[in-house]
Amino acid sequence: MPELPEVQMVVNELQERLTGRRFAPGATFLWERTAGFPAAAEFAERLAGREVTGVRRRAKYILVDLDSGEQLVIHLRMTGNLHFADPSEPPHPHLRARLPLSDGQELRFADTRKFGRLYLGTPLELEAVIPLHRLGPEPLDDDFTVELLRSRLSRRHGAIKAALMDQALLAGLGNIYADEALFRARIDPRRPADTLSDSEVAALHAGILASLHQALGSGGTSFRDYLSTYGRKGDNEENLQVFRRNGEACLRCGNPLQRIVVGGRGTHYCAVCQV
C-alpha cells in the first residue's frame, strides 16, 4: 500500500501537472464502486467544468481542491495509481475511472484490487463519509515534536508497532516506515507504547523523520504496484534496512533479521538490536 512518502510524491506531481486545469464533462467509472461518494452519475455531473486550484495530502488521502469549494479526494489504498493519458491510448487492464480534462487529456485511475476510492463533495459532506477529521497529526509538520509523540504514546498500552500504524495517533505512517523507524530507534516492535523512556521516544521521533525523508528523497518505495503519475517506480527499496529483509544479515550487528506478526501485520526487526 502506498504510504505517506508515496502519496506525497503523487501529490507533488499532481500539484504541478493538474493545478489550473479544468475537468470536462463525461467522467466515467468502469467499476462504479470506485465512486465512493456520490454515486457515479452525480459524481460526473458535479465534477464537470470544475477547475483545480491546488492539490494537498492528508495522511494517505489526496485532496484536489476545486474552484467550487468542493474537493475531489482520492484514496489509492493498496494498488491504486493515477496517470494522464490521451483518450486514444489503450486502457490499463485494471482501469477503473476516466476523468476527462478540458484540454483533451484524461486523468485515469487504475486499481488492480478495486479497494481504491474517489470522493467528491464539500468538506461537510466528505466529513460524513471519510474520516479526515479523526486523523492524527502529520509527522512532517513542524508541530510534530518529541513532546507531542510522547504525549500520544503515553496513553497507549498496546504494542508500539500497532500504535504507530493507528492513523488516529499519527497520520500516514504504515507498515514499511513503522518497521524502519523502530529499527533506527532500536525498539522492539512488541514493546508496550507507554513503556518507552524519554530517550527512546526521542530516538523514535528521529527515526520516523529520517525514514520518511529518505523515502521522499528516493521517490518512494515500489515493490510492485506503486507508480508515480509518470509511471515511474520509486527507488527507496534499496535503502530499506529491515522491511522485507527477513533472514538477511542485520546491517548493524550481522544477526539474521526476523519476521513476526504484530497487530495482524507482518513485522520485520532485529531481535538483537531492538529491545
Q: Is the pTM of this model over 0.85?
A: yes
- Sign of torsion, CA 145 272 220 161? negative
pLDDT tens-place string over residues 158-204: 999 999 999 999 999 999 999 999 999 999 999 999 999 999 999 99
Res. 222 pLDDT band, cuts 50 70 90: confident
Domains held by the chain: number: 2
Q: What is the mean pLDDT of residues 95-110?
A: 98
If we measure between CA atoms, which residue out of 26, 24, 208, 10 comes closest to residue 116? 10
H and E: helices and strands count for the chain: 7, 11
- CB of 235 closer than 8 Å to CB of 247: no
- CB of 169 closer than 8 Å to CB of 135: no
The CATH number covering residue 103 comes to: 3.20.190.10
Alpha carbon distance 114, 78 (integer Å): 9
Q: What residues are annotated to the active site?
A: 2-3, 60, 265
pLDDT exceeds cutoff 80 at 225: no
Task: Kindly state whether residues 87 and 185 are assigned to the same domain.
Answer: no
The CATH number covering residue 193 comes to: 1.10.8.50
Give the per-residue pLDDT at 223. 74
In a domain? residue 275: no
Cell of 170: 499519527
pLDDT tens-place string over residues 134-144: 999 999 999 99
In a domain? residue 66: yes
Q: What is the mean pLDDT of residues 192-219?
A: 97
Task: Kindly state whether residues 102 and 169 are assigned to the same domain.
Answer: no
Q: What is the mean pLDDT of residues 75-93?
A: 96
Task: Kindly state whether residues 93 and 165 are assigned to the same domain.
Answer: no
What is the Cβ-side half-sphere exposure of residue 106, based on CA atoms within 13 angstroms? 22
If we measure between CA atoms, which residue out of 170, 162, 62 comes closest to residue 116? 62
If we measure between CA atoms, which residue out of 125, 165, 135, 133 comes closest to residue 36? 125
In a domain? residue 116: yes
Pairing of strands 117-121, 35-37: parallel
Q: What is the mean pLDDT of residues 101-105?
A: 98
Alpha carbon distance 54, 97 (integer Å): 21
Other Cβ atoms less than 10 A from the Cβ of 87: the count is 12
Give the per-residue pLDDT at 213. 98
Tell which of 82, 99, 134 closes a domain.
Answer: 134
Alpha carbon distance 210, 181 (integer Å): 8
pLDDT tens-place string over residues 10-36: 999 999 999 999 999 999 999 999 999
Alpha carbon distance 187, 171 (integer Å): 20
In a domain? residue 139: no
In a domain? residue 274: no
Give the domain extent around 118: 4-134
pLDDT exceeds cutoff 90 at 220: yes
DSSP state of 15: H
